[in-house]
Structure 1
Amino acid sequence: MIVLGYNGFTRGAELFGRLFGATGVGRNLLVGHDAAAALMIDGEVVAAVEEERLSRVKKTSDFPAHAIEWCLDSVGVGLDQVDVVAFPWRFSPTVAEEMIAQICGSDLPVTAKFDSLRRTGELYTDMLSREAVYSDFVQRTGYELDPDKLSLVPHHLAHLMCGAYLAGGGDAAFLVSDGRAETLSSVMGELRNGVVRLLEDTAVDMSSSLAVTYGRITRYLGFVPNNDEYKVMGLAAYGPPPRHNPLLERVVRLHENGSYTLSVPQDVQAYYALFDSLFDGDSEKREQFDFRVKVAGLAQHMVEAVTAHQLRTLTAASNLDTLLFEGGLALNCVANTKMLERSSFTGMEVSFGASDPGVAIGAAVYAAGLRNRPAAAVTTPYLGPSYDAGHIREALEQYADLVVWQEEPDAASVADRTAELLAGTRVVGWFQGRAEFGPRALGNRSILANPAIPDIKDIINLRVKHREPFRPFAPVVLEAEAPRVFEMGKKTSSPYMTFVFPVRQEYRERIPGACHVDGTARIQTVDERQNPHLAQLLRAFTARTDVPCLLNTSFNVAGEPIVCSPRDALECFLATEIDHLVIDRFVVTKRDR
């Protein structure tokens, strides 16, 4: 059985812009953002890529025409061979009735209700309805799909199926929390024997979205919502835990059934005014580092308090040992660690597709039927494009007046040469194998550096990434070595940078570049099965330096998608102060100019 999952709408940006004024930073709040495609054959995901990696438009919500084409071409499958096309949104007539009822039951004046009904109706008819989704697919692919082959999957269910599949398909309690699904923002329950049981009383309406509220605070602090929340999370570590939190006192109401209500106006000027009153802020203070740290700490504390409230209800309702956490809020790795350590769960999984790229995988999994995966199966995020030596040489020749290169004879030689470069203050672009899927660079499209260099974070932030100096970096470490360097708590591995751990005291001075200001690190663990090239490099680097990890950050500059092709890598290499570029077996250096 062949299933194609995808996420994205051709007219999303146009309709949200015209009908709801979603332009500028608001473009990242569209339904369908992080457009992607995934292909599943006989129960196994064989290809997946985000549209942004191919179109080079960051966080695009466009129909993923390039991603679909690549997924099919990568395994030699045509659309006529696909059994099901799965889409991770189900705006059914019942959902449409709920949308109408919410507008009619609101406190809006009558004329405003009619206006809202008109705009929502146009959005539904032209973009969200089954007929519109089908028409979009046919027009963009040029393929007359059998309408019965189109499967619309509820958004939160697609999130859950992605996490469940990548965790192996076993029984687990679950929490899904993101900006919005069709009408809700958070659900939780159990997955037993492949059957989903929702705790319906605990569902949270999208008007009380915790992720959206965090995003509004992100915007209030001058960052891009649904894109820069990790900056707020990182800033929070610069201050002490808040003694009292006006967000919990005046914005959040926790209910006995495990749900909650958040009272934040939708209008930008209105919620800026609310936050100014809560935080004693103004336009000048929002530019000040100490003020940003204070507000970030309050926002982070709010997330941790609300999710802890949800877990108390979930653990009372389920006796399962493992928690699956999916949705955009699951990228808050600081909160994730606290959720696990403060709960009765013995294990917690957050997938590399936890945010909206993953719903393309989840929709395909749902349509194909969730299956328990063999214990020997390797779960891999490396599902995107790869390039052979011929493609790489062709790209290098196009830049021959700007770069020189040497081809190493084998993988061991590549690892030794790269370890030699990294042992000093060199920053290396590392490009190997298939591109990672999801928002994190997991060692195939990465910028690597030596964490023993005290000012390496400043070097990379300012000279390479062109971004704020307070931003931390993630260390990558062999899974077997991780407990020796980091306090792992209940976790034995963290392969997707979705948890944060304290750096053991005896290593903080040895790897200062890997330590955030609070002594923690968002680590990536690596083993030989999942990424043999990166594991080999780590062994070579440690043998040469006695430093047990490397710094790993995404191979891109601020505002750009992670590189995908050799040409992308060369463009980024030449536009930054990256010292060397290692593509497959080619070690590349800039020509003296």
Structure 2
Amino acid sequence: MHILGISAFYHDSAACLIADGQIIAAAQEERFTREKHDARFPQSAIEYCLNAGGKKLDQIDYVVFYDKPFLKFERLLETYIAFAPRGFQSFLTAMPVWLKEKLFQKILLRDELTKLGAGPNIESRLLFAEHHQSHAASAFFASPFEEAVVLTMDGVGEWTTTSVAIGCENRLETTKEIHFPHSIGLLYSAFTYYLGFKVNSGEYKVMGLAPYGEAKYTDVILDKLIDLKADGTFRLDMQYFNYCTGLKMTGKKFYKLFGDLPRKPGQPLTQKHMDIAASIQWVTEEIVLRLTRALSSETGSKNLCLAGGVALNCVANGRILRDGKFDKIWIQPAAGDAGGAVGAALAAYYTHLDKPRRTNGKDAMSGAYLGPSYNNSEIEQQLSSAGACFEKLNDSDLITATVDALAAGKAVGWFQGRMEFGPRALGARSILGDPRNPAMQKTLNLKVKYRESFRPFAPAVLREDMADWFELDCDSPYMLFVANVAQNKRRKMTKEELALFGIDKLNVPRSEIPAVTHVDYSARIQSVDRETNPRFHELLSAFKARTDCPVLVNTSFNIRGEPIVCSPEDAFRCFMGSEIELLVIENYILYKEKQDTRLKINYSTTLKPD
């Protein structure tokens, strides 16, 4: 039984192929088109998934779309009626798109699938899941648990913004929902917009900015913007928000409350901006903690699954973990809309078709390594066509050369095996660095990634050494938990350093691994085990043998505004457009000083906001 899941037409289009409940392949369209958050029909991702499964489209039993367009259209109409005559301009803007494309998505999907080789009966094999059903299915059915409570939180699906479901074997029953316009995700996005970052993209910047500030505005948010109950349920005061009736997230009353107009992109970040970021981050954590505590009490379940865009807030996830109400927590690594493709396919297999589900103590995501890989002939062909100078090494020499570069303080592009599915680079399409180097964070941000200096970097650490370096001792393979650096690895701060505020904190080394230690001593941790990623584990082990440090800086292989690289050609282009000094693609190694300088790319005029 082969099922193809699709998410498309809003943001982060993706495709996933499963065979008898096993996830065979999954990828986002952006990785192939090189357009970040590409929302178009995922033609390239579908073609990749079919090739990976050795199937043609007319051999697929079902194609499942991740949400229900008619219910979204219903929300659009009812929202307009509820707020009329306010919102008429946004209604006029949205309506032509809906009438031309989105309302008739079944026909659009049929036509696009027919172009890819689907037979004339494709409509009879086309299914639609609800948005939060897709999120919940991606969390529970891909988890290692036989039973769990499932919490999904995002901006909005059709109507739902937050949902609770109970998962047991092959069943998933929704028990509670919070509906639009009351939304944790949209609340956080409103502050993302107010702080001058891009909605549906810059939320993680707010999370990264928060530790530089003090949560001075939590009372204002809780008193004016949100009515938060003890069990985590909530309602927003829509007088302060504009997303129901306008083309912006916030309105004049919101600006008056905080005393300023929204920060424009590129304007300096002030201490007030940092304090506001700290405040909305604290409120978000409080909402999530109240929800999870109530669910633990109500259900008695010891297992929790999370999905939806809010589940990518790894600081909040770390708080849930430390709160201890659940013995085990599993978060879908592609928690956003791209992961809806996985959930739609799994929901069809287990819920619609009532197929049996078996767990073996491991999750079904294969480390999230579900994207394309490239063989030697493909690598050589792409690099040669690009004009690259490269050489091939055996495994041992390759690891030694990479460790040499890392220990010398160089930034290394690391391209190995199947590409990751989801927003995190996990050692397949990564830029690596030495975490002991105090200058590494600033170097990677400003000279490699071309982005804001305050942005933190994550550590990849050998699973067997993780508890010695961080206050965390559970698997964290998907970089979705934040925990503190171990006390004995921290550096004692001087009185002058402790007195610093805001961005001035940035350049103060706080531990033995300053490049991955945020200003509050936290780190977003990836645990690396030998079974899931043997070559990355081997590199970390060799770096440890050389330096006594089992940790590397791990950030995504891309520059600001572009998707993570997919192909060897993408990797070489990024290599030549940044200050990465060594590129490793499988067993091929490329030194920057040996490349034709005429191939260097100047990204400074083409960088897009992210």
Q: TM-score, with normalisation over the residues of structure 1?
A: 0.89
The equivalent residue for 1:249 is 223
Question: CA separation of 1:287/1:132 partners in 2, compared to 1, >3 Å: closer, same or farther?
Answer: farther
For 1:465-490, what per-residue CA distance to the aligned partner results, in whole angstroms no more than 9, with x for missing partners? 000000110000011111110001xx
Among 375, 382, 387, the residue aligned to 1:388 = 375
Partner of 1:409: 394
Gaps of 5+ in 1: 10-30
Are positions 1:64 and 2:42 aligned together? yes
Supply the AA of the counterpart residue of 1:79. Answer: L
CA offsets per residue over residues 37-79 of structure 1, 9 Å max, x none? 1110111111111000001110011000011011111232101
Query: Tell me, what secondary structure is at the counterpart of 2:144?
Result: coil
CA separation of 1:99 and 1:276: change in aligned 2, threshold 3 A = closer
* Contact 1:103–1:117 (Cα < 8 Å) also in 2: no
Alpha-carbon spacing, 1:543–1:276, altered in 2? closer, same or farther (3 Å): same
Rate the CA distance shift 1:331–1:111 in 2: closer, same or farther, 3 A. closer
Amino acid at match of 1:416: T
Given candidates 250, 263, 286, the residue that maps to 1:305 is 286
Pair 1:152-2:134 in alignment = no
**Distance (Å, rounded) in 2 between the aligned partners of 1:256 and 1:523:** 30
Q: 2:14 aligns with which of 36, 45, 64?
A: 36
After TM superposition, give the deviation of residue 124 of structure 1 in Å. 5.9
The code of the aligned residue for 1:351 comes to Q
Shift in alpha-carbon separation, 1:587–1:247, aligned structure 2, 3 A:
same
Distance in 2 between residues matched to 1:555 and 1:181, nearest whole Å = 30
Pick one of 235, 242, 245 that aligns with 1:265.
242
Match of 1:238 in 2: 212
Give the Cα–Cα distance (whole angstroms) in 2 for the partners of residues 49 and 288 of structure 1.
Answer: 35
Matched, 1:504 2:504: no
Taking the aligned partners of 1:162 and 1:208, their CA distance within structure 2 comes to 23
Match of 2:410 among 418, 423, 426: 426
- CA distance in structure 2 between the partners assigned to 1:81 and 1:138 by the alignment: 12
Query: For the structure 1 residues 338 and 284, does the alpha-carbon distance in structure 2 shift closer, same or farther, using more than 3 Å as the test?
Result: closer
1:254–1:309 Cα contact (<8 Å) kept: no
1:280 to 255, 259, 272: 259
Q: What amino acid is aligned across from residue 430 of structure 2 in structure 1?
A: S
How many angstroms apart in 1 are the aligned matches of 2:263 and 2:75? 42
Could you say which residue in structure 2 is the equivalent of 1:75? 53
Shift of 1:292: 1.7
Q: Which residue of 2 aligns with 1:27?
A: none
Q: Which residue among 260, 278, 295 is the counterpart of 2:276?
A: 295
> Residue by residue, what CA displacement relative to the aligned partner does 1:183-227 show, whole Å, maximum 9, x if unpaired?
111111321233223233xx2112112112211211221111110
How many Å separate the matches in 1 of 2:115 and 2:34? 18
State the AA in 2 paired with 1:197.
E
Matched residue, 2:187: 213
TM-score by structure 2 length? 0.87
- State the partner residue of 2:446: 462
Letter of the 2:127 counterpart: S
User: 2: distance between equivalents of 1:56 and 1:233?
Assistant: 25
CA RMSD across the alignment: 2.4
8 Å Cα contact 2:16/2:25 also seen in 1: yes
Q: Aligned partners of 2:93, 2:392: CA distance in 1, in Å?
A: 61
Task: Please say if residues 136 and 165 of structure 2, whose CA atoms lie closer than 8 Å, have aligned partners that are also in contact.
Answer: no
CA 110–276 in structure 1, closer or farther in 2 if over 3 Å, else same: closer
Structure 2 unmatched runs, 5+: 352-356, 491-510, 598-610
| Counterpart Cα distance in 2 of 1:111 and 1:395 | 50
In 2 relative to 1, CA 238–111 (structure 1 residues): closer, same or farther, beyond 3 Å?
Answer: closer
Aligned mates of 1:510, 1:171 — CA distance in 2: 40
The verdict on how the C-alpha distance between 1:320 and 1:133 changes in structure 2, with shifts beyond 3 A counting, is farther
Indicate which of 399, 423, 431 corresponds to 1:447.
Answer: 431
| Contact kept? 1:476, 1:525, Cα under 8 Å | yes
Say whether 1:557 aligns with 2:541: no
The share of aligned pairs that are identical, in percent, is: 36
Secondary structure of 2:223's counterpart equals: helix
How many positions carry a matched residue from both structures? 561
- 1:168-179 aligned at under 5 Å gives the runs 168-179=144-155
Once residues 516 and 263 of structure 2 are traced to their aligned partners in structure 1, the CA distance between those partners, rounded to angstroms, is 32
Q: 1:229-275: per-residue Cα shift (whole Å, max 9, x none)? A: 11100110112343743111100012466421112222356825333
Pick closer, same or farther for the CA change 1:119–1:220 going to 2, 3 Å: closer
| Distance (Å, rounded) in 2 between the aligned partners of 1:353 and 1:176 | 13
| 1: CA distance, partners of 2:217 / 2:185 | 23
